[in-house]
């Protein structure tokens, strides 16, 4: 391996570390909802505004983050937003009320999305050895972070009686990651290819796939955000074991992503997407239809996380096989994903107390069923496109 490849791998490792922290930050909100609601002096309905605010920041960063990387020194921008994310994590448990907390969460969401865009774009720019494998590894680290974060918060609750130390541990971990990025040379944006064999993105297909990502991320984020409060409210877990359950969900999702790396070598993306949605639907149906129990909730949590794990990357792979993937097209997909991750978790919060905790699994079950039906429509649209 030559020195250039070694440098590319070192830079890739910096991105992996950044995505580990990105996943940890994403998974920190759900297990903290009851504590944050109590600190802010509001209800679960009120605290669910966090999802709207975070995703509003995420949406803004998704829209403009790519343009900033085109114009600024990439690693200066990336390191800065990592520090911004850490500052937000430090301030979350100190917020004196709901409005200051919402402002902090907006900063966190803005930093997260700019980091998300940067990790995906810059890894392609440096073009490391086996770039496809490295890209899967990047998203695997996101899942690892999401798995670790609830464990840290559960330990914080157990040993200190609150979430403050947990958030501060996450915030402290951000600093060396940012310094690592700052010390590395920024990659240079490669020139765009002059030609592309794949057909241009058809607006109708772009809209359908964007809606697919909207529904997919809605289900994924809603389960990860509300399983803690659902298990706690239904007396399936105490505050510590509910944190472990949240961690298990993200861990299963990560395992699903890892498994998909090998499955994708043998089966087509469309089949992997269909099977994953079907298994997730079966698990959620059991939770909706059968009498609840601790073992059932644990089983469904693992099944759902594992099944949803491969879907995002497989969706991107499927889309890239049927259209020319430009930056703007990818941005539209990420906007759909951001809005989905904002709407459903917030919507569940509006009815969780008035209609009961059962609204959570039912909403996610319906969303997953619609996602499967929509994917059938997408497949039909692709077939019709080939015939015309």
Q: How far, CA to CA in Å, does 73 sit from each of 53, 70, 200, 350?
A: 28, 8, 30, 42
Six token digits for residue 259: 């498994």
Q: Above pLDDT 90, what percent of the chain?
A: 48
CATH superfamily, region 1-188: MFS general substrate transporter like domains (1.20.1250.20)
Six token digits for residue 187: 């990659």
Six token digits for residue 245: 């359950």
Least confident segment among 57-71, 155-169, 227-241, 276-290: 57-71
Q: Is-same-fold flag (1-188; 196-388)?
A: yes
Asked: is 196-388 a CATH 1.20.1250.20 domain? The reply is yes
Six token digits for residue 27: 């998974």
What global pTM score does this model have? 0.75
Mean pLDDT of the chain: 87
Q: Predicted confidence band at 193 (pLDDT cuts at 50, 70, 90)?
A: very low
Give the residue ranges of DSSP H helices in 161-293: 164-183, 203-233, 239-263, 269-289
Q: Predicted confidence band at 325 (pLDDT cuts at 50, 70, 90)?
A: low
Quick one: average pLDDT of 98-108? 95
CB 30 within 8 A of CB 226: yes
Summarised one tens digit per residue, pLDDT across range 137-192 is 888 898 899 889 989 998 998 899 899 999 999 999 999 999 999 999 998 776 54
* Residue 110 predicted with pLDDT over 50: yes
> What is the domain partition of the chain in residue ranges?
1-188, 196-388
Q: Dihedrals φ, ψ of 50, to 5°?
A: -55, -40
Count of C-beta atoms within a 10 Å radius of residue 217: 25
DSSP conformation letters of 316-381: HHHHHTTS---HHHHHHHHHHHHHHHHHHHHHHHHHHHHH-TTHHHHHHHHHHHHHHHHHHHHHHH
Six token digits for residue 70: 């085109």
Q: Is the dihedral of CA 59, 60, 61, 62 positive or negative?
A: positive
CA–CA dist 96, 160 (Å, integer): 20
Six token digits for residue 361: 């699994």
Q: Predicted confidence band at 195 (pLDDT cuts at 50, 70, 90)?
A: very low
């Amino acid at each position: 391996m030559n020195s250039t490849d070694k440098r590319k791998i070192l830079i890739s490792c910096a991105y992996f570390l950044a995505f580990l922290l990105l996943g940890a930050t994403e998974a920190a909100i759900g297990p903290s909802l009851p504590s944050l609601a109590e600190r802010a002096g509001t209800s679960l309905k009120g605290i669910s505004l966090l999802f709207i605010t975070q995703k509003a920041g995420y949406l803004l960063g998704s829209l403009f983050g790519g343009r900033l990387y085109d114009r600024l020194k990439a690693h200066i921008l990336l390191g800065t937003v990592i520090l911004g994310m850490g500052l937000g994590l430090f301030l979350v448990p100190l917020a004196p009320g709901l409005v200051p907390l919402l402002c902090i969460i907006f900063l966190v969401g803005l930093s997260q999305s700019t980091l998300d865009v940067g990790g995906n774009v810059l890894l392609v720019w440096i073009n490391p050895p086996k770039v496809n494998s490295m890209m899967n590894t990047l998203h695997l680290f996101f899942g690892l972070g999401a798995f670790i974060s609830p464990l840290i918060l559960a330990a914080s609750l157990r040993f200190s009686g609150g979430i403050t130390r947990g958030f501060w541990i996450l915030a402290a971990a951000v600093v060396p990651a940012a310094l690592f990025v700052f010390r590395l040379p920024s990659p240079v944006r490669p020139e765009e290819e002059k030609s592309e064999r794949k057909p241009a993105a058809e607006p109708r297909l772009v809209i359908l796939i964007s809606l697919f990502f909207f529904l997919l991320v809605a289900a994924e984020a809603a389960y990860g955000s509300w399983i803690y409060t659902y298990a706690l409210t239904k007396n399936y877990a105490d505050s510590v074991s509910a944190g472990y359950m949240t961690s298990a969900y993200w861990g299963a999702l990560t395992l699903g992503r890892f498994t998909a790396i090998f499955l994708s070598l043998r089966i087509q993306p469309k089949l992997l997407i269909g099977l994953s949605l079907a298994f997730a639907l079966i698990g959620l149906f059991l939770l909706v239809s059968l009498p609840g129990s601790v073992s059932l909730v644990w089983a469904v949590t693992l099944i759902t996380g594992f099944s949803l794990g491969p879907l995002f990357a497989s969706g991107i792979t499927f889309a890239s096989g049927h259209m020319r993937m430009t930056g703007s097209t990818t941005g539209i997909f990420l906007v759909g994903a951001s809005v989905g991750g904002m709407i459903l978790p917030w919507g569940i919060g509006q009815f969780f107390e008035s209609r009961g905790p059962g609204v959570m699994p039912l909403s996610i079950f319906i969303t997953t069923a619609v996602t499967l039906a929509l994917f059938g429509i997408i497949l039909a649209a692709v077939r019709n496109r080939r015939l015309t």
